[in-house]
A and B are shown apart, each in its own frame.
Chain A
């Protein structure tokens, strides 16, 4: 049953995505390989929509993924499955709050988790770059690269570094306007 599959998948996402919304990305990316729920291209649209609508990005992405997989009820089921591990963990942690913060093994574990999560997200970026910046089914290597999109991408990377305090929605809006103007 698709709801059970959704629950199982999003419980895992909730339990193992550490470090905020984008940490859910490698999981969703993996789902494009294993399930017919959504394509990588759709996933990238999904990230854009999640970044420009209210609420935690990870939750937005779960709702959207669940909806794409099994309709409105799927969206609700995926979201609840996503936050269930957090609720259980929070119920435990609040009771040992001060101990958890000062425990050196917790700190040691995070010392190793951070670079692993960086690698996971870096790897997911490669997949996103593939659907965003390359043309599918190009006859040869030279026509594979979509130079205008690559230029837009590089320009935006520089802009985001430069205007750090601006909300991501502005960069998405800039991308949308450029896409319309240049018929990307």
Chain B
């Protein structure tokens, strides 16, 4: 059955994807485009690009678009559940047993080192995001204002900066567009 096939293909993909994001794109390219020929490569890149700009997880979003492409709404659900199920199962198993190990001194030392590595990985991610997100004066101001707001109200919901950023982005860009139109003599855009 087609839906079962979609579920099982994405279950396998969810199982072998370590680290999400880019790793997953490579696997999708190989499995869905080259091997199974479910969709052309450009279509996959399109789905991936849109997934990045939508809320939620990039891997799950991409899987849902492919599922929809293959079998419309039921396919979308089959893909979403298929790609999510392995990580839910694996993490539950890990979570059930890790508590027993965290008290062992060797495990404690290892995790202290691992936490330093996690901090380093996230710092690196912030560098990368800075490069793609903070490009000019307005975005720099949005960054600073968000950071200052968080420093003043550390328990503020992350929803607030995200929504305020969206509003500021639309306002700044629309104003810039108007200014550009006025400078060219108010002619048509």
How many interface contacts (CB-CB < 8 Å) are there between A and B? 363
In the bound complex, CA of A132 to CA of B115 (Å): 6
Residue of B whose beta carbon sits closest to that of A50 = B91
Minimum CB–CB distance from A150 to chain B (whole Å) comes to 8
In the bound complex, CA of A112 to CA of B122 (Å): 21
B122 touches A22 (CB 8 A): yes
Contacts of B169 in A (CB 8 A): 108-113
Interface size on A, residues (CB 8 A): 105
Contacts of A76 in B (CB 8 A): 88, 92
Cross-interface CB contact of B88 among A49, A75, A149, A183, cutoff 8 Å = A75
Interface size on B, residues (CB 8 A): 96
Contacts of B52 in A (CB 8 A): 19-20
In the bound complex, CA of A79 to CA of B60 (Å): 12
**B39-64 CB contact bits vs A (8 Å, 1 = yes)?**
00000001001101111111111001
Cross-interface CB contact of A115 among B56, B77, B133, cutoff 8 Å = B133
A114 touches B109 (CB 8 A): no
B172 touches A112 (CB 8 A): yes
B125 contacts the other chain (CB 8 A): yes
A5 contacts the other chain (CB 8 A): no
B57 touches A20 (CB 8 A): yes
Contacts of B139 in A (CB 8 A): 111-112, 114-115
Listed stretches B15-23, B30-38, B178-186; interface member: B15-23
B53 touches A106 (CB 8 A): yes
A157 touches B120 (CB 8 A): yes
Some 5 contacts from A to B, beta carbons below 8 A apart, are A112-B139, A115-B143, A115-B165, A131-B115, A180-B109
